[in-house]
Chain A
Amino acid sequence: MSNILEAQHVVKRYAEHTALNDVSIEVPQGSIFGLLGPNGAGKTSLIRIINQITAPDEGQIILNGERLQPKHIEDIGYLPEERGLYKKMKVGEQLLYLAQLKGMKKVDALEKLKMWFIKFDIKDWWDKNVEDLSKGMQQKTQFIATIVHEPKLIILDEPFSGFDPINANLLKDEILELKQRGTTIIFSTHRMESVEELCDNIALINKSKVVLHGEKKEVKNRFKDNSYSVEYTGNLHNENGHFELINTQILEDGIMKSTIKNIQNVPVNQLVSQLMNQIELKSFNENIPSFNEIFIKVVGGEGNDLL
């Protein structure tokens, strides 16, 4: 899979601080890419550079194999975290204007917008003033503005913030549908459950540096600690040292739940057969860390040895 976007050793300095310090990421074509990081880590700075709102001090951005140039503006759709619309303008007019600024011809824009208005069932909003719309309605309008010109790359900065659950779901479905049509989506977020659900690849930026980068599964594997959850009846004891019993809790009906760690790295089958000798197994699962845990671990200062 080729990369639609590569950031190569990007550095951005402001007067008092460095916003991005030698940041390199690769975004595969057609993927959903999660740009993670705490507040102030440099995510928005990177997004602004990709959108050519600002320029990097060092390094470069490659889009579709070419160095980033003004013509690429039309290939990118951007929904900033702080979003807004012209309040006194009509919805339809405004979307038409924004689409034309993204390089669409008026007729094409009109046609595409009509399609979206029908899809979102908002046909009667066309002549409404933006200030008369509810917040949710404005969000839909903004989303249409982001994607109407059918960009190859869509950048969503905290897309779910401020969305109610219904609109958030609608947005999620749209993101997945766009992916299916081959669009690449970068989204920056703190919401780890949406990363879990949607992303194929991630990059975690902390203190202006990329501290974690790669495919979702592969990143998770890196953070596996060889521990397993076991549910069982009977008495589990750690006698010949293949595993370490970390903790045990009692569930209902005499069922026990323990976390064990495969300290000698024996094959899983061997581990399971050893357990089966001791107990009646109800379930056996490998503990895969959630992104929430990974995030806290990495940003919290641990796990730097895994880089």
Chain B
Amino acid sequence: MNKILLIIQREYTTRVRKKSFWIASLLVPFLIAGVYAIPIYLALSSNDTKNIDVVDESGLFKGKIKSDEELTYRFIDKSFEKAKTDLYISDADILVNIQKDILQNPNGVKIVSKKSVGIGTQFDIEGKIQNELRNIKFQNANIDLKVLEENKVKVNAETFTIQEDGKEQSNSSTGAMILAGVFGIILYMSVLLYGSQVMNGVIEEKSNRIIEVMISSVRPFQLMIGKIVGVGLVGLTQFMLWGILTFATSSATTAVMSGKIEEKVKTMQSKGANSLDIKKMKDEFKSKNPLNNISQTVENVSLAKMIICFLLFYIGGYLLYSSLFAAIGSAVENSTEAQQFMFPVTIPIIISFMLGQYIIQQPDSPVAFWASMFPLTSPINMMVRLPFGVPNWEIALSFTILVLGFLGASWFAGKVYRVGILMYGKKPTWREISKWVFYKG
């Protein structure tokens, strides 16, 4: 037992001391923070204003198209031809021509510009003209705009799950979906990443030829388990660092962002925007920040339960797959040879990931249920289902099956490993590997 601890210690410390470990541990949280901070930041800081000169030949739009912070609309009394030639001496960036027969011919709008027009700007111009045209058409058809406005209804359903005891729980499926996706991706990546680290560790020992010295001191199974646990702990350490650092960087960016949003609110107020617009803007930014959605879900499914389940299913799935990876590593002499044997092990991981994408849509379907029970797919798929709410008995059953799966896999892997690590020379076939399982001592 003591020897396993020594092996775990070595496997852990040699990996944690590597620069690459720290680079990955530090980089990922900053990337995560960046992924949502950058779009918000860009949206907030686009202070670029454009001047748009409008030549309105129809005379329908003057005073009806309003400027905003980004686009300033100015109606000019020039002919379109003249305005075009004057474009480079004026301070206008864009010139819009609305033709006389615009009511009959909605395509009678031309946009001319110095630089190519961004799609956003184009939509803005088109949208404003479109709205105004519609208003005019409604008026012509004697439809009262006020009545129309008053009768606009927006349905915003609140979703609840109801439990057996009648307790209602509101759930936010966006947040759950994000969280499920995050769980799925983390498990998928980490099983592949740390599983192949185990495999490469075994290959390293074999190709270094230190293996024979090692197994004259410890049992092959001890060495295998020590390596698997050591690498697994490296994984847990990395998750912990990622968790803490992501929380820290995200909180920091959120704080900076809310400062920026407040600033923006002030400038909007000074420009005389009404409170409804401000609320709309705030909501928009809020929805861009995934932390808000997630924290809502976290309120529904208890945070502790999720963390515990994540750890259990990470550990179970990792142990299951990494013992298979260890068996592959023992059978080959270098990573190139390993490719061929990795295929059957990576396939179930990839399938679970693909199933996960379906399960996010249908978390209560029979496929979701069985995928979260079968030990090769359950680690990823149970975690994908979890944020949508899974009964405890299902979690317990799935985990029990997973543990049994791990025991079976490690028994099999131990048998293959014990023979494989001492086999040099020719690359074994599947048939030979399956025979190793039944070798004695």
Contact = CB atoms under 8 A, between A and B. Distances in A.
User: Do A and B belong to a common assembly?
Assistant: yes
Interface of A: 15, 48, 51-57, 70, 73, 76, 78-80, 82-89, 97-98, 100-102, 142, 145
Contact of A73 (B209, B210, B216, B422): B216
Interface in B200-256: 204-205, 208-219
A55 B6 contact: no
Given A83-B209, A101-B6, A52 B435 contact: no
Contacts of A78: 212-213, 216
Contacts, number: 64
15 contacts: A48-B422, A53-B215, A53-B216, A54-B422, A70-B219, A73-B216, A78-B212, A80-B213, A80-B216, A83-B210, A84-B209, A84-B213, A85-B208, A101-B7, A142-B213
B217 A84 contact: no
Given A73-B217, A89-B14, A98-B217, A54 B441 contact: yes
Contact of A87 (B208, B214, B218): B208
Interface string B320-341: 0000000000000000000000
Contact of A86 (B210, B215, B219): B210
A78 B435 CA distance: 29
Given A54-B441, A55-B440, A82-B209, A88 B14 contact: yes
Contacts of A79: 213
A84 B203 CA distance: 13
Contacts of B204: 86
B208 A86 contact: yes
B3 to A, nearest CB: 6
Chain A: interface secondary structure?
Answer: loop
Nearest to A53: B215
A36 to B, nearest CB: 21
B74 interface: no
Interface of B: 3, 6-7, 10, 14, 204-205, 208-219, 422, 424, 435, 439-441
A136 to B, nearest CB: 17
A86 B14 CA distance: 11
A52 B216 contact: yes
A53 B422 contact: yes
Contacts of A88: 14
A101 B218 contact: yes
Given A52-B216, A101-B6, A85 B14 contact: no
Given A52-B216, A73-B217, A101-B218, A85 B441 contact: no
A80 to B, nearest CB: 4
Contacts of A86: 14, 204-205, 208, 210
Q: Which of B6, B204, B212, B441 has the most CB of A within 10 A?
A: B212
B6 A100 contact: yes
Given A15-B435, A86-B208, 14 more contacts: A53-B216, A54-B422, A57-B440, A70-B219, A73-B216, A78-B212, A78-B213, A83-B210, A83-B213, A86-B14, A87-B208, A97-B10, A102-B217, A145-B213
A51 B216 contact: yes
A89 B215 CA distance: 18
B217 to A, nearest CB: 4
A89 B435 CA distance: 35
Nearest to B210: A84
Given A54-B441, A55-B441, A101 B210 contact: no
A101 B439 CA distance: 26
Contacts of B6: 97, 100-101
List the 7 shortest-distance A-B pairs measured between CB atoms, nearest first.
A55-B441, A84-B209, A84-B208, A80-B212, A101-B217, A51-B216, A78-B216
A142 B208 CA distance: 13
B267 to A, nearest CB: 57
B429 to A, nearest CB: 13
Contacts of B14: 86, 88-89
